[in-house]
Amino acid sequence: MFGAHTTSGLRGDYSRARADFTVEQSWQTYGEADHALWRRLYARQSQLVRHYACRAFADGLARADCADAIPDLARVNRALTRASGWQLVAVPGFIPDEQFFRHLAARRFPVTVWLRKPEELDYLVEPDIFHDFFGHVPMLFDRAFGDFMQAYGEKGLRALAVGALPHVARLYWYTVEFGLIDAEDGLRAFGAGILSSGGETPYAVESPTPLRVRFDLRRCMRTRYRIDDFQKTYFVIRAIDELKDTVAQDLVPLLQSLVLEPELEPDRLYPGDEPVPPRACRPEAQGAMR
Ligand code: HBI
Ligand code: FE
């Protein structure tokens, strides 16, 4: 997630990065305090997953088997590659768009190696290993979602070539990071930005405050987003296959027409929007609303 486009001024050690921006994870260098902080974050978020995450996320989280310590990416890769053909690679932090898309197109997901500090439990402006791993890796165990992510990487490279980075970045933002799904058992989250956040998880699914609209590719790619607060609008898909179908087509003609159209505001409804109601609120979750 997060919208920086150079590596200068970013947290993380880029001095040892290879040309594709990967590094060694050096798992042995995490300290006991890091693992303890991971366990705290894991315990808090995994509780929320039961009530708020879609089934694919919950299943993938169990298979990632990472409750007790910061995960060793090489170990997780054995299970992940068997499940969906994906592989995790270690990176120092945010990497340039082109390299990011190249990794996705090759079924490699870049995971940041550093962990936040205890005083940053809730808010971060750059992805750390908790966001990247806990938020993104569970869905990568799902074959259909993995296929979507690979195709997204391919389309992202094409979009860069036609000057439509903001448009494909919005698709990623409103699905991979902040997507909701209309599941059999009600509204659920699958986005990593939602599910790695203690506050935004109940907010995205249950709060009456934000807008929720049925996912539409053009509408989504035209809509600006905020990186400094909970989202104002969430897009709701019907099934993971909907995402796969969306990126199966040639996006270039669509992107070329979209770059000429005005952007849409993150906080309003537009003609043609199909609003989706929030999930009925459990009383004990009220305290987490804002
Ligand atoms: N790098 N590590 C990392 N994580 C991201 O989510 C990321 C990135 N580089 C670029 C990027 N995202 C954007 O291109 C996408 O969000 C569209
Ligand atoms: Fe992310």
The mean predicted confidence, pLDDT, of the chain is: 94
Nearest ligand for residue 196 CA: 2
Q: At 201, list the tokens.
A: 């998880």
3-state DSSP percent of the chain in helix, strand and coil, to 5: 50, 10, 40
Query: What residue owns the CA closest to ligand 1's atom 5?
Result: 1
| pLDDT score recorded for residue 4 | 44
Kindly report the length of the chain: 290
Residue 240 in this model has a pLDDT that exceeds 70: yes
Distances (CA, A) of 106 to 86, 87, 129, 240: 8, 9, 21, 20
Domain-wise residue ranges, the chain = 27-288
Instruction: Tell me, using a 6 A CB cutoff, whether residue 90 lines ligand 1.
Output: no
Instruction: Tell me, using a 6 A CB cutoff, whether residue 193 lines ligand 1.
Output: no
Nearest ligand for residue 95 CA: 1
| pLDDT score recorded for residue 3 | 45
Query: What residue owns the CA closest to ligand 1's atom 14?
Result: 97
What pLDDT digit, counting tens, does each position of 34-69 carry?
Answer: 999 999 999 999 999 999 999 999 999 999 999 999
| pLDDT score recorded for residue 8 | 65
Domain 27-288, CATH class in plain words = mainly alpha
For the complex shown, is ipTM > 0.90? yes
Instruction: Tell me, using a 6 A CB cutoff, whether residue 97 lines ligand 1.
Output: yes
What pLDDT digit, counting tens, does each position of 87-100 carry?
Answer: 999 999 999 999 99
- Give the span between the Cα atoms of 22 and 226, in whole angstroms: 28
* Lookup result for tokens 């870049």: 110
* Lookup result for tokens 């995490």: 30
Atom of ligand 1 nearest to the CA of 112: 2
CB atoms within 10 A of CB 283: 6
